[in-house]
Structure 1
Amino acid sequence: MTLRVGLFSSKPYDENVFRPLADGEKVTFDFLNMPLTPDTALLCEKYDAVCVFVNDEVSSATLSALAASGVRHVALRCAGFNNVDINEAHRLGIAISRVPAYGPEAVAEHAIALMLTLNRKTHKAYNRVKEGNFELNGLMGFTMHQKTAGIIGTGRIGQATAKILLGFGCEILCYDPQPDSEFAKLPVAYVGFDELLKRSDIISLHCPLTPQSHHLIDAAALSKMRDNVMLINTSRGAMVDTQAVLQGLKSGKIGYLGLDVYEMESELFFQDHSEQLIDDEVFERLSTFHNVIITGHQGFFTREAMTQIATTTLGNLVAVAAGQAEPANLVLPEEN
């Protein structure tokens, strides 16, 4: 029997990676450029499973519509599952699978790229030189060697980021409710959350979005940070209270801000809005600051990571259908 799968929020690069891997497997994909919502879920009667991405809406209403259509598996082609009502899925008998790891170095390297670009202002220098301007005023950065970098969340991506920063000669402070004893054998120090905020020159976020981590970086957290701190977020947008960050930028508390995610990104990211007015005043305000760099959730986007995502997702689809899924790749209610 062939497994029929609707792959939502599809882009050409998804089809280019998924289609060749599906050859030889008993899986057929329909590549749908629309997002999954309660309305589009009504179109899923011909599918055994659906495959979704970070900004698809897998709410209670969506899941109810999927269940009514006969869908029994939602395969996430990402690690995070904050957009899924896990308890409702379990109640309806719908399996939820994910890709727990897909080349953590890809996201870590993007976090470092944001740090270096903000620090040495290479984006500004590039534009100046193209215009024949070789003036250095306004381009001064700082030496990262011997600076203190705070890593919030020491899963695979956080650890990969810390290891790169160790190569720069940074002092590494870490915060995680569940410290990794093996990682702690490296020259890193686990400290309390407040201590990390107070001591770090650079703070990089690498946590899953949960009710506990929502707005982890808020006005109170910012008040404990050093003036002119560098803040990097490549995890989930809602980890950061955007209004508080705007105030931090205006006051000078935040000297550098690098975002690959944004709290309201579902209305913006992964789409071309170049010929439209962006009706998001907060995003537009963020974009006016010279010390802010925003990228469109591309940290995962390398050839190697995309291949691993597709391979694991395809494996999850086949395994769930056969009742042989890896426990680590299934999201259960107690994880939520």
Structure 2
Amino acid sequence: VSEIGKAPLQQALNVTVPYFLDWNGEVHQPTRIQTLSVHVSHFHLKFVADFGVRLLVAANFTFKVFRVPEPLELRLPVVVLADARVAQGSVGTPVVSISACFPLFSDTKVPDGSAGLARGPLALVQKHVRAILRNKLCLSISNLVQGLNVHLGTLIGLNPVGPESQIRYTMVNVPKVTKDYISLDINAVLFLLGKPIVLPVDATPFVLPLHVGTNRAMAAVGLSQDLFDSVLLLMQKAGALNLDITGQLESDDNLLNTSVLGRLIPEVARSFPKPMPVALKVQLGATPVVTLHTHNATLQLQPFVEVLAVASNSAFHSLFSFDMV
């Protein structure tokens, strides 16, 4: 997670430093300071039990000071410590907030080859840059966290999963934070045509097993059987599991025809002396049932199959139907 977060963090820390007012003995001369680069060399996250996350960010800033007669390049190592509380919002979403933030500065470095600068003016420039970063770095991290909250806020409301179906997430309880992980108990409700998919009440609680996955796993996701049942019920009601098997109706190589079927059912051969294409309409009349086992799952389907033949006028003629168990 830390490696993934480096890129947006570097972008957020690339703050603008305003002009430095340099006193030349008579007037204040504005000196432009440009942030050339920000490199996050270390980004560490640590879980704090019953609180949230502690962040440690080590970054190297490179600035260009446009002084006369030649510009000067400065490098400033910075370490930022921040505490982020993880809680539950009033509308049922996880909310992350920065509760404390402290930037720690090392000595400014002047790379070899840069123009010389007296110790006094250098100290003033360094003081100016530090004052700006002290105010802006923590604000930038806080804004980055607020952007995360915007994404977490999309859990609320109906989110489309198909042309006529939606899903809504809500967080059931306050996030559980230990020294090893953060656990979010999320409830998902599926909707079809604006109406929720309601399952029979099941008193069996769902708990994610401890030590699930591997030690190198970044995240563990547990899906309850109720969620599988809701998804299958939604797909069954929406007709997403229905099939129309037609083959190549106009092809001479199509084996799905009345001639082949007539070898098994004489009535079909008598009704269609000339080979005509056959189509199969498969519909799920009963709700699919999924049973979860260790390392695998069993899906039970009960399709209703209707066999149709294409008549001479291109209309479909129902031959027979049957249930499959």
TM-score (norm 1): 0.23
Give the structure with higher Rg (CA): 2
TM-score (norm 2): 0.24
Greater relative contact order (Cα < 8 A, sep 6+): 1
Query: Relative to total residues, which structure has the larger helix share, 1 or 2?
Result: 1
